[in-house]
Amino acid sequence: MNDFNVDGKSFLTIDPGDNIGWAFFSPRGLIESGNMKVKGETLPEKTLSAADEIYDLAIKEFFDCVEEVYIESVGLWGNTQRSQVSASTGKIFSVAYIVGALIHCLGLEIPIENIHLIDPRKWKGNMNKDITSRRVERALGYKVKNEHECDSIGIGLSLMGKL
């Protein structure tokens, strides 16, 4: 369902937003995952916080291992109510700023050609959160409680052809 090849590679996946889900995969599968709450009151504070947190994670924790990074891209899901609310409240733009900051900070250490945006429709098609959660649970053998962490794991599993 996607155009990326992760065979034999270690990679980091990111579900961006006010809560950032992340997952680190080796060629054999999921190594570690988590969720981080973005700090700050203003959009610039949140954007900088997100970039700092992911930079610390990717570069300080996994730098020797991360070959590629996959960040879920931002976009409207057709004419769905959730997409329209996200656009009208400006939340979608906030997430877009965070994605840009993540690309910038990670690009300081990881070759930019190894940082990819992945469209949600490419990795999960039309699956809703509940179906995605059940597929991830089936693949891992346990339930991931945080939806952002679950999505970041789902991105990786999809890239590996295991979702």
Residue-wise pLDDT for 93-140, tens only, equals 889 999 999 999 999 888 999 999 999 988 998 888 899 999 999 999
Q: Percentage of the chain with pLDDT > 70? A: 89
Q: Is residue 6 part of a domain?
A: no
Q: Is the pLDDT of residue 17 over 80?
A: yes
Tell which wins on pLDDT, 63 or 5.
Answer: 5
Query: Order of strands, edge to edge, in the sheet holding 19-26?
Result: 29-37, 19-26, 11-15, 68-72, 115-118
Q: Is residue 133 part of a domain?
A: yes
Q: Determine the structural domain holding residue 55 and report its residue range.
A: 11-159
CATH of residue 57's domain is 3.30.420.10
What does the pLDDT average to over 64-76?
Answer: 87
How many folded domains does the chain comprise?
Answer: 1
Q: Is residue 5 part of a domain?
A: no
Q: Is residue 119 part of a domain?
A: yes
Q: Is residue 1 part of a domain?
A: no
For the entire predicted model, the pTM comes to: 0.89
